[in-house]
Amino acid sequence: EAQVTQNPRYLITVTGKKLTVTCSQNMNHEYMSWYRQDPGLGLRQIYYSMNVEVTDKGDVPEGYKVSRKEKRNFPLILESPSPNQTSLYFCASSLVFSYNEQFFGPGTRLTVL
């Protein structure tokens, strides 16, 4: 089944404790992206990747890191989480050289205390 998976789905952590949210897709998509969703703000793009080893900042990259060492994986790293990073996070993927829509993962609800 074609899908985007994220882990963990729920995470409660404390300020400053490094964490990684994994994202994997099995559709051989070049484009992968991370978003955060906050009430009243819609989805905002954090980082995106056009292909392996190619990443770029979205609108809200501060406090986040990403890497794209393999085509299927695009982990999101919070080196020192803060309470303002409490949010719902979505990973998405799509083909690059087409106009196809993005496929979204199930989401990760992160709470930073």
Q: How far apart are CA 6 and CA 94, in angstroms?
A: 15
Q: Which stretch binds another protein (CB under 8 A): 20-28, 31-39, 64-72, 79-87?
A: 31-39
66 scored as a contact of another protein (CB under 8 A): no
By the rule CB under 8 A, 42 interacts with another protein: yes
**Minimal distance, residue 69 CB to another protein, in Å:** 19
The only residue of 24, 25, 29, 35 in contact with another protein, by rule CB under 8 A:
35
Q: What are the CA-CA distances from residue 53 to residues 49, 68, 109 (Å)?
A: 8, 5, 27
Helix%, strand%, coil% for the chain, nearest 5: 5, 50, 45
Strand order in the sheet with 76-78: 4-7, 19-25, 76-78, 65-66
Under the criterion CB under 8 A, does residue 89 sit at the interface with another protein? no
Q: Work out whether 8 is an interface residue with another protein (CB under 8 A).
A: no
Interface residues toward another protein, by CB under 8 A: 31, 33, 35, 40-45, 48, 50, 56, 58-59, 90, 92, 96, 99-107
